[in-house]
Chain A
Amino acid sequence: MPVFLGDTPVIRRPAPPPPVDPAVTLETYYRVQQFLYLECRLLDEERYEEWLGLLTEDIHYWMPLVQARYRKDPKPRYDPHRMAYYDDDLFTLRRRITRALHPTAWAEDPPTRTVHHVSNIEVERTDNPDEYRVYSTFTCCRGRNEVEESVLHGRRVDLLRETPNGLRLARREIYITQSVLLSKNLNVFL
């Protein structure tokens, strides 16, 4: 007898995939993509004050820790009230950048070299016609001093807003794959 499992309820079946939003135009997608690329370049060129200029006044910049918890655990693996790498508003980001650009930021002199790659960009409409939800993935490679190298991979969920000055970042969630950060610090924005 051949083994036939097709009718066994235990074996998983295909489900309908979520629809792709047809109302997001190619032009919108292109503008979002250019925005994200520009942002990467500003960060890689340490043009932090211009990078701040890409953020809205009410930016929420959040990079949570992941907690390794069992699947059955009712507590979430990410929680907004837990410790985080970033949980910042515009003013606290300005503070960080003030330190990073200060001539006595010894650990940044000579400067860290970074390359940000962004990929897997998806754009969705939201209830607000001026705002888009944007999914993307990134890698960030840092080189420091002579042979130090650190690579981070992650996913992001952004809220981009149409403003009179163009698209601006209003919210970012950053999820990296590492639960123990395999570096001495996280001296980059992602």
Chain B
Amino acid sequence: MPTLTTGSSTRRVGWSKDDLRSLIDLEKGFIDRRIFWDQEIYQLELERIFARCWLFVGHESQIPNPDDFITTYMGEDPVIVARDLQNRINVLLNSCPHRGNRIVFAEAGTRRRFNCNYHGWSFAADGSLVGLPAEELYEQTCPGFDKKDFGLIKARVGTYNGLIFATFDEEAPPLEEYLGDFRWYLDVLLDNDEGGTEFIDGSVKSQMNCNWKLPAENFVGDSYHAAWTHNSGAVGMLGQPVGKINQDRSFAVSVNGHGWQFGLDMIGNAMTLGEQEILDYLRSREQVVAERLGKIRSRMVGSVSSANMFPHFAFLPGHSTFRVWHPRGPNKIELHTWVLVNKNCPEHIKELYRKGVMRTFSPTGVFEMDDGENWEHCTATAAGVVARRQKLHYGLGMNSQIEHDELKGEVHLRKYNDANQRAFYRQWLKLMCDER
């Protein structure tokens, strides 16, 4: 099989390590706005973050059987996620090595072979080139031509409790190490039931004119915006504003740039889906979940909370929306979202989740609508040179780190706290300064 990459795509750019370090002041909590606007920084992000990190590419339930596939992106690279006849999951660059044409255009389906529309080169689910028209001429007239050298570029693939991740970096640490202790938190949603999880069919896709880091930092730890930004949504769904949060019973935790901010209220996020039966379902399971995961994690299942896994995979416990902020230039993203449910969840409850998430966190959702407006204009104002000279403040919750008997990773008290955002940018800076 072909190696992961056959050449360096790294250009020399004007940003030295020292330049990059000057953008992020973690001690005082200030961020330079050029990271939301600069084209060269964005190109570096594609090379040093998106072509190196383990990126979420799908849920195993989206491709349950051999020959099933979905298409998605890793950074701006289109990829195919395909299950082969040996039941292995393959992540393949969706571009023909012959003339570069895109190969698969459907977003999901079932196919034994992926045929390029241009000249008919045909690839198997493991990426190998299995046929091409006039193959004998290639053999006769191209010295050394070997089909084995012309498979689709393959990414490394790893799974964790149903989630599929991939990386194009041969030197990346194993997925287990990349996730680290964040797995302990992920299990709150991925392993609270013995039957495991699945995505409800259908991915909602939309575009926003914002830098990808703004939604990522929002989900990684911006509890602070919720009561103000989303007041109108809460009134629509609950008939009243967002409730007061007991800050001293809430936390911001981070591991390797992944972050989760949460209270221990168990159902606060879920309440805003506006369906009593969902709350009854969650409450009916509290004891089972506590026995499985311990009391503290059982209180996180649907609590007022949000999370982002570095770099761009985010979710909301309770709402059960899972989403990726695909970068599309320094000031554009394509947002893909799904709804995660327990496989064993009763069908009519799954249906309530489907509709509840649609009404809250989708383009028509009463919460998401106000988020997009904020992120777009946080980005757009960075067009101004004077605006870009002003660094932005990320200093809330300095010195809030605590030791906790149960919670893993870096734990900060109080979710009105920029600690997870600082941890996100610490990871960002570390990867951006890796010049290999």
Which residues on A are within 8 Å of B, measured CB to CB? Answer: 63, 65, 67-70, 73, 75, 79, 81-88, 92, 95-96, 98-100, 102-107, 179-187
Decide: A96 and B203 in contact? CB cutoff 8 A: no
Are B372 and A184 closer than 8 Å at their CB atoms? Answer: yes
Which residues of chain A are within 8 angstroms of B207 by Cβ–Cβ distance?
A: 180-184
| A183:B206 contact, CB within 8 angstroms | yes
Judging by beta carbons under 8 Å apart, are A88 and B206 in contact? no
Q: How far is the CA of A17 from the CA of B236 in the complex (A)?
A: 47
Instruction: State the interface size on chain B (CB cutoff 8 A).
Output: 48
Q: What is the chain A residue whose CB lies nearest that of B368?
A: A185
**Cβ B232 vs Cβ A99 within 8 A:** yes
Of the stretches B8-16, B101-109, B416-424, the one at the interface is: B101-109
Instruction: Tell me whether A185 and B364 are in contact (CB under 8 A).
Output: yes
User: Are B364 and A83 neighbours in the complex by a CB distance under 8 Å?
Assistant: no
Q: How far is the CA of A105 from the CA of B372 in the complex (A)?
A: 12
Closest to B239 in A: A98
**C-beta contact mask, B330-362 vs A, less than 8 Å → 1, else 0?**
000010011100000000000100110111001
Give complex CA distance A84, B365 in Å: 11
Alpha-carbon gap, A52 to B397, bound state (A)? 46
With A and B bound together, what is the CA distance between A77 and B209 in angstroms? 28
Q: Are A83 and B363 in contact (CB under 8 A)?
A: no
Interface code B192-207, partner A: CB below 8 Å = 1, 0 otherwise? 0000000011111111
0/1 per residue, B217-240, Cβ < 8 Å to A?
Answer: 000000000000101110111000
- A87 and B206 in contact (CB under 8 A), knowing A81-B201, A107-B372, A185-B372? no
Asked if residues A107 and B369 are in contact (CB atoms below 8 Å), the reply is yes
Asked if residues A69 and B235 are in contact (CB atoms below 8 Å), the reply is no
Is B110 positioned at the interface, with any CB of A under 8 Å from its CB? yes
Taken together as a complex, chains A and B put the C-alpha atoms of A85 and B337 apart, in Å, by: 12
Which one, B202, B364, B368, B372, contacts A82 given CB within 8 A? B202
- The residues of B that contact A183 with a CB separation of less than 8 Å are 206-207, 363
Interface-central residue, A84, A105, A185, by most chain B CB under 10 Å: A185
Instruction: Name the prevailing secondary structure of the A interface residues.
Output: loop
Would you call B202 and A98 a contact (CB within 8 A)? Answer: no
Q: How far is the CA of A81 from the CA of B351 in the complex (A)?
A: 8
- Write the nearest CB–CB distance from A110 to chain B, whole angstroms: 11
B109 touches A70 (CB 8 A): yes
Are B204 and A73 within 8 A (Cβ)?
no
* B109 neighbours in A (Cβ, 8 Å): 69-70, 73, 75
Which residues on the B side are within 8 Å of A185 (C-beta)? Answer: 206, 363-364, 368-369, 372-373
**Contact: B373 with A85, CB < 8 Å?**
no
Which 9 A-B residue pairings sit nearest by Cβ, starting from the closest? A99-B236, A184-B372, A82-B202, A83-B202, A107-B373, A105-B232, A102-B232, A181-B206, A104-B231
Q: Which residue of the partner chain B has the closest CB to A95?
A: B236
A183 to B370, alpha carbons, bound, how many Å?
A: 13
Docked Cα-Cα span, A81 to B105, in Å, equals 23
Nearest residue (CB) in B for A98 is B236
From the candidates A68, A81, A85, A92, name the one contacting B106 in the complex (CB within 8 A).
A68
B61-88 toward A: CB 8 Å interface, digit per residue (1/0)?
0000000000000000000000000000
B245 within 8 A of A: no
Closest A residue to B208 by CB, please name it: A184
The docked-state distance in angstroms from the alpha carbon of A79 to that of B202 is 9
- When A86-B364, A96-B236 are in contact, do A106 and B201 touch as well, CB less than 8 Å? no
Asked if B370 contacts A107 (CB within 8 A), the reply is yes
Contacts of B364 in A (CB 8 A): 63, 85-86, 96, 185-187
